[in-house]
Amino acid sequence: MNILMTSDTVGGVWTYTVDLCEALQAHKVTIELATMGAALSERQRTQLAKLPNVHLHESEYRLCWMPDSSADVEAAGRWLMQLAHELKPDLVHLNDLAHGGLPWPCPVLLVGHSCVLSWWLAVKKEAAPMPEWAEYKTLVTESVRQASLLVAPTQAMLHSLLYHYGPTERTRVIYNGTDRPALAETAENGEREPFIFAAGRVWDEAKNIDALTAIAAELPCPIYVAGETTAPDGTERSTESVTFLGQLAPDELHHWLARASLYVAPAAYEPFGLAALEAARAGCPLVLGDIKSLREVWGDAAVYVDPSDLAALRDKLINLITRPKRRHYLATAAWTRAKRYTSAAMAKSYLQCYQSLLGPKQVKHPVKKVRHSATS
């Protein structure tokens, strides 16, 4: 099976893409990967070099959620159409919301990893301003309604997509999965050090890292935060109350997770949360924002807190830091729950969708691949 897949190089979608492509190798699926958002980093190139079933087609077109991106989105559409014409894929798998409405020559699976309108409602507590986002809404609505199948990583995210851009009856929920870090035999993997750990784009209000910086001075242990601190507009986030580690390589991130006493993600908006999954696999107890998507993924295997309640966040962290047995119980619960969300399970579900969309049609033999590069 030969699939044209898009990916975003500047967010968590990249991790999802690498995990999925790697897991699809076992099913003899070839991926023509069209990247957008920014040039790949050396780390990202190294990741792809380990995947013989992936052929890279690189661009730097801005994504539809970025400011002033209309021209880039339109140009990216022409580029993707050219790729589809030349490569003749059996199916298109879009990990951006902008291009489902194009005249594709084959079935289209569209994944809604997140969206501006649901982000705005969750984070700003009001509807996204119009007409600023009117063009975006029209574009995504057309994309969602024209796609052969709409996929979301949680029921909560699917509900949001249908609320803002529906209706469409062709939907499926497929939970994200990862095999990183390697799942320990038990949640007990050595003595934990007295610090709290968080990960995510520091500049993204949805991650709510500001809540941690606001209460850090009242906690009996330090807080370390991994993630990009420079926003797309160039603004740099900094504070003396927590230690920002910047963007960490996977091995470095897993080293921190294996030592932390608590993993905290007081998110106001998180359609799935791959970083929390990695933390759980590493044996960290989880303290998460009390939102529908995270409760759906983690059930009773985490402690939840209202993202806007700083006092509650402070009190729950202090309580857990002083109760090692409670932390061990939560770590075991999260570690056990994490076993559901593997790369293999995710790939199997996507393969079922691919086969369903293709029906009895025989997939074509792979053609000779051409490497493409485009810039904005």
The pLDDT tens digits along the chain (376 residues) read: 999 999 999 888 999 999 999 999 999 999 999 999 999 999 999 999 999 999 999 999 999 999 899 999 999 999 999 999 999 999 999 999 999 999 999 999 999 999 999 999 999 999 999 999 999 999 999 999 999 999 999 999 999 999 999 999 999 999 999 999 988 776 766 679 999 999 998 889 999 999 999 999 999 999 999 998 887 677 777 778 899 999 898 899 999 999 999 999 999 999 999 999 999 999 999 999 999 999 999 999 999 999 999 999 999 999 999 999 999 999 999 999 999 999 999 999 999 999 999 987 555 544 444 445 564 4
User: What is the side-by-side strand order in the sheet with 193-199?
Assistant: 243-246, 223-226, 193-199, 260-265, 286-289, 303-305
Listed in sequence order, the residues at least 6 apart from 278 whose beta carbon sits closer than 8 Å to its beta carbon are 178, 180, 181, 253, 254, 257
Strand partners, 197: 224, 263
Measured CA to CA, the distance from residue 174 to residue 156 in angstroms comes to 12
For β-strands 171-173 and 193-199, DSSP reports them as unpaired
Measured CA to CA, the distance from residue 35 to residue 59 in angstroms comes to 6
* AA identity, residue 145: R
Measured CA to CA, the distance from residue 71 to residue 80 in angstroms comes to 14
Closest CA to 227 of 10, 36, 372, 4: 10
Whole-prediction pTM value? Answer: 0.93
Q: Inter-axis angle of helices 250-257 and 274-281, to 10 degrees?
A: 60
In eight-state DSSP terms, residue 218 is: G
Measured CA to CA, the distance from residue 11 to residue 15 in angstroms comes to 8
Q: Are 61 and 374 in contact (CB under 8 A)?
A: yes
CA-CA-CA-CA dihedral for 216, 219, 221, 226, to nearest 10: -30
Using a 10 angstrom Cβ sphere, with 0-12 exposed, 13-18 middle and 19 or more buried, the burial of residue 78 is: exposed
**Number of other CB atoms surrounding residue 79 within 10 Å:** 18
